[in-house]
Amino acid sequence: MSDEVTQMKKISARFPEDLLEEIDARASSRELPRGANGWAGRYMSSDEGCWKKNDDKSSRTNVSGGIYAMERSDEECRKILTPEQYAVCCQKGTEPPFSGEDCHEEGVYVCACCGNKLFSSETKYDSGTGWPSYWAPVSDESIKLEEDWSGGIHRVEVLCAACDAHLGHAFDDGPPQTGKRYCINSVALKLVKR
């Protein structure tokens, strides 16, 4: 294992192990692009591809304290993500209701693209909408909310704060704890079991 990958593992003690194994495998096969930070850097979605480099040095780590998201071209995103994940996370799509995996195990739901901690199983509830719903994120810093006027309807889009992946939408019709319903596409999440 290279010194750079070893260093990334030290930095990322809380990063999901399956994603670290993917990094190791891709680094060994030299599929990952190299830059000033080796395979590291913070990347955001854009029209140019799934992630582009963000040179804002004030926000170089993802909010869960894990390693930096990998630089990925549109082609690499298509290889790494399933077609469904790509359509939702990179192209702001929505999976059909009741079509995704509805997991009820304990743990933390992380971004399928970068591993950022997003939601806890403790705040998950059945909203009856057909999409996983949560009444609060892990922290206010783990997600980003933006106005969305697509389709001629005003909504609030939920994005991963670390990589800008589209996750779903937030509504003000949630349970009493917060009154919020974060309606999230299941393909945009991965469960890290406790």
Task: Establish whether 50 is a catalytic residue.
Answer: no
**End-to-end Cα distance, the chain:** 28
Residue with tokens 């970068």: 114
62 contacts 163 by C-beta, under 8 angstroms = yes
109 contacts 191 by C-beta, under 8 angstroms = yes
Contacts made by residues 139-147, CB under 8 angstroms, sequence distance 24+: 139/63, 141/63, 142/63, 142/64, 142/116, 142/117, 142/118, 143/118, 143/167, 143/182, 145/170
Q: What single letter denotes the amino acid at residue 82?
A: T
Token couple for 93? 């799509």
Token couple for 101? 């995996």
Token couple for 182? 């974060």
Residues annotated as part of the active site? 183
